[in-house]
Amino acid sequence: MSVCDPVADMLTRIRNGNRAGLEMVQMHHSNLKNEIARILKKEGYVSDYVTEGHGGKKTLRVYLKYGYDHKPVIQGLRRVSKSGLRRYVVSTKVPRVLGGMGVAVLSTSTGVMTDKEARKAGVGGEVLCFVW
């Protein structure tokens, strides 16, 4: 199966897994997806992520996190920069998600980072997604 936008596929799998109440979602591995999963774990949106396999057949497992009453921690995910329309921002225009309550994930020249880290480092880049 060929996926045109692997990041959008990852976000859709996480969104669908949350709605279905799944413990874990699985997808093909890439370094970009791995970095997004790292940020989601660091910000407390997922409980863990694991890369399994070796060579060209790696898979990424993202373990979803739920609060009381089995309510998902991730309330929303939105892909911002799409393959048909890339969204780039300069360091002074890095967006805030829900007034700082959410996280914007950016791909910068120094790596994948959150909006807070990008503002602190004074770098801009491609806005990959919003998570709240």
Where in the chain are all domains bearing CATH 3.30.1370.30? 6-70
Average pLDDT over residues 72-87: 94
**What is the overall mean pLDDT for the chain?**
94
CATH class for the domain made up of 77-131:
alpha beta
- Does position 1 have pLDDT exceeding 70, yes or no? no
CATH topology of domain 6-70: Ribosomal Protein S8; Chain: A, domain 1 (3.30.1370)
Where in the chain are all domains bearing CATH 3.30.1490.10? 77-131
Average pLDDT over residues 15-34: 96
- As a whole number of Å, the CA-based R_g of the chain is 15
- Beta strand pairing status for 59-64 and 111-114? unpaired
Q: Find, among 29, 26, 5, the residue nearest to 16 by Cα.
A: 26
Q: What is the pLDDT of residue 100?
A: 87
Helix, strand, coil distribution of the chain in percent, nearest 5:
35, 30, 35
- The structure's pTM equals 0.92
* pLDDT classification of 22: cutoffs 50, 70, 90: very high
What's the pLDDT tens digit per position in 87-115?
A: 999 999 999 999 989 999 999 999 999 99
